A and B are shown apart, each in its own frame.
Chain A
């Protein structure tokens, strides 16, 4: 159960930058964004959780949203990255390789294995 919670927290932490990376490429509507994220293995546990995240990012000024009905079929809410969102993504991109390498190193080290066995 703890492992599940750890992974959930980990996903929650990286999902925002992943959303920004997709929106940096082009604007996307909700379901499109969800499908693109879901196609990346194990990134999404449930599709619905993307929407509260998008709302939080919108409130933080990282993305904007707009309803459009381009094909006159059904209105879609499109999301776009803002300048603040690009800066946020750039900062995360700069930090991520070092951070992930550090975590990988710690997870591989014998010292970490000993700590795990002691629990």
Chain B
């Protein structure tokens, strides 16, 4: 079943504009709102909807700018008071010579940091646990598991210009708290999903709690955000989602996928790239008519 985004240019244009407007929000909030509005449109506009219906549904939703402003209003309520923000102005403006004093103290602190750096280097990375699933129910329903020469993979059809992604369990095996800051971008792997082509806007979130008691985890009831800290010995789930563009799969095999996710992780006062090996790997297969 194709979504309304694939069928109607006006809906695609609306969602593109909304995505642009939502850039003022933190990525997790923007992603969540995009998912909600996409689902709303899918539901409100069944196949064959008249042009007037499409126009009316979009009009009732409100302009992307208005929607973003409403979301921003919500966001602004949580922002810090201006006086707190002012208190973070540069030291030289607020303290004068005291700022220089702080620099001297900083040098002393450097000695301490050197010691901490040693601990940081010795801290083991996050590791992948046993539970995982495709994030969206429509992908879960179509997933095909395969194992070739010891390499396991789960494959779903690429859904053109839609969000797709997966959830995997992670453990912090170290004795230090680790905070997932986002995807780690590098020249070899700009998205942080090693080997995966033709996906954009890759976002990672960590579940705010594990919600896992040994039975099958209910991923959909979890809340995912960036900047979540995983305490030593704790399990969490990470959700990686992306916007799929299957119309330009480059390798000719009809498949693209990844078996390694690179994360930017803060350990103590430092951040570093952690490379997590995924087993199974996560693959998309090209199966759509891309001429439209």
Contacts and interface: CB of A to CB of B under 8 A. Distances in A.
Question: Considering the complex of A and B, which 10 residue pairs feature the smallest CB-CB distances, nearest first?
Answer: A46-B62, A75-B137, A52-B71, A67-B220, A48-B61, A48-B67, A69-B137, A51-B36, A31-B43, A48-B62
B62 A49 contact: yes
Nearest to A49: B70
A113 interface: no
Interface of B: 1, 29, 32-33, 35-37, 39-40, 42-44, 60-62, 66-67, 70-71, 73-74, 77, 136-138, 141, 218, 220-221, 223
Contact of B36 (A64, A66, A72, A77): A77
Interface in A50-98: 51-56, 58, 64, 66-69, 72-77
A46 B43 contact: no
Nearest to A46: B62
B74 A55 contact: yes
Contacts of B40: 30-31, 34, 47-48, 51
Nearest to B70: A49
Nearest to B221: A66
Contacts of A54: 36
A106 interface: no
B138 to A, nearest CB: 6
B36 to A, nearest CB: 4
Q: How large is the interface on A (under 10, 10 to 19, 20 to 34, 35 or more residues)?
A: 20 to 34
Contacts of A102: none
Instruction: Give the interface SS of chain B, mostly helix, strand, loop or mixed.
Output: helix
Contacts of B218: 66
Contacts of B220: 66-68
Given A31-B40, A52-B71, A47 B137 contact: no
A38 interface: yes
B223 A58 contact: yes
Nearest to B135: A67
A48 to B, nearest CB: 4
Contacts of B32: 55
Given A75-B39, A75-B137, A31 B66 contact: no
Contact of B141 (A48, A66, A69): A69
A68 B177 CA distance: 34
A48 B29 CA distance: 14
A46 B29 contact: no
8 contacts: A53-B74, A54-B36, A55-B29, A64-B221, A68-B137, A69-B137, A74-B43, A77-B39
B43 A30 contact: yes
Contact of B39 (A49, A66, A76): A76
B125 to A, nearest CB: 30
A88 to B, nearest CB: 16
Contacts of A45: 62
A34 B61 CA distance: 10
